[in-house]
Structure formats: structure tokens, C-alpha cells
Amino acid sequence: MSNEIKNNPIGFCLRTIKNSGKVPFLVHGQRVSISGNRRFPQDASVFTAVGFALEHGFCPVECVREQMERQKKEPWGDHRLRAFLLEGVMLTDQPQAEIARVELALGQVVSIEGCICRIESAANYNFEAVELTEQEIRDLSEQLKEAA
């Protein structure tokens, strides 16, 4: 193991992942299409508590703090810092502009505003962004270095 990895393992690993270009970087409000739960891809939007706060003129630090407090008080609630929000479908008689979406798949690793997450199944054919552990980040970094 090199000295750089010993001195700053997570920072080094995160830089390796970011610089690989193989992990999609997503931001709040970005439109995605996720396949894997049904026979057809499901359209969703990326949600982050920080992005929501900035979009609505709130303090991002306060918003994250409030979400974390709610997670402790109401663990059964839906107080996530990152999520994929499924979009509904509506039929109209008016032409609609096609929306550009990032194609993703169940089990894929993505970066949501810098947080490395895996897309996993949730209840009712939904998706959730599950943050990778430090060991999973190290393993992913090693895989990407070996593949390069």
C-alpha cells in the first residue's frame, strides 16, 4: 500500500473515483431514467436536501441539520438527505418537449453531489440512494484503478 493511500485513504479513493469518469455525477433536480425494477425504465428526479434548500432560499446547513434531527425522532419517516423521486405520467393532447435523462440501472454506483451511493430497490417499485461504506469506496477505487 502506498504512503498516499495510508495518509489519506478516503480522500485518495474519492479522487480516484471522481477522476475515473466512470461514475455518473448527479445534481439536485437532474432528470434520470432508472431500469431494473420493472420491464421498462422509470423516470425520476434527483433530490438532495442541500439542493432543495438552495433552490428555495433556505440555509443548507440548517436544512441538513433539521433532516438529521427528523431521522432520529421519526426513523419511520421519509427524511432523507438524498433520494430519487419518481415522476408521474400524464397524457395530454399538447405536444411536449422531450426531456434529456441520464440512463441508470439498479445496482449502479453514482455520485450525488459528491456522495458516492448505490441505486437500490425500495418499497413499491421505488429506488433509494444508499451511501457506500468506507470499505466499499476503497474497493471501488481499487477496481477502477485496476481497470484503467
* pTM: predicted TM-score of the whole model, two decimal places: 0.82
Is pLDDT at 89 greater than 90 in this prediction? Answer: no
- Where do we find the cell 437532474? 30
* 3 pLDDT tier (thresholds 50, 70, 90): very low
pLDDT in tens, 103-144: 999 999 999 998 999 999 988 888 999 999 988 998 998 888
Instruction: Report strand pairing: 109-112 vs 25-26.
Output: parallel
| Distance (Å) of CA 125 to CA 9, 44, 48, 101, 122 | 36, 12, 20, 19, 6
CB-CB contact of 115 with 22 (8 Å):
no
CA-based R_g, the chain, Å: 17
- Where do we find the cell 434529456? 100
* Ramachandran assignment for 113, one of left (phi > 0), alpha (psi -120 to 50 degrees), beta (any other): left
Give the per-residue pLDDT at 5: 47
Beta-carbon contacts of 12 under 8 Å, excluding residues fewer than 6 positions away, are 4, 5, 141
* Domain boundaries of the chain, sorted by first residue: 25-147
